[in-house]
A = this chain, B = another copy of it.
């Protein structure tokens, strides 16, 4: 049984994740993740970890990504919390896109993200 962070800590980390991406702060976003963290975005795709996470957020920022939370963050009675959002971004050479998504995260005792799994499917993606 490991210690769990409070819901306030988890929600603050989720909000920092949103704010740092919107600020273009790739290093700041990456710093929210624990060593060994795994990102599965979207659920059903190949998980990313290690150096791939820094590259993932470098790309995210380069794509002019803007995240808009659409409801208050949800906590839990464990070590998990959820941010629900619409996200817009412009992939290289493409038009601006919008995804209706939600990131389900698990946290360590220090409030760092150890797992991020994104709920969005093919029909949640469209023009911005």
Known: A43-B80, A80-B43, A84-B84. A100 touches B121 (CB 8 A): no
Q: How many residues of A contact B (CB 8 A)?
A: 31
Q: How far is the CB of A71 from chain B (nearest CB, A)?
A: 5
Asked whether A53 is an interface residue with its Cβ less than 8 Å from the other chain, the reply is: no
Known: A43-B76, A76-B44, A77-B44. A102 touches B82 (CB 8 A): yes
Q: Which of A25-67 contact B (CB under 8 A)?
A: 42-45
Q: How far is the CA of A48 from the CA of B8 in the complex (A)?
A: 27
Q: How far is the CB of A59 from chain B (nearest CB, A)?
A: 18
Cross-chain contact of A122 among B70, B77, B104, B122 (Cβ < 8 A): B77
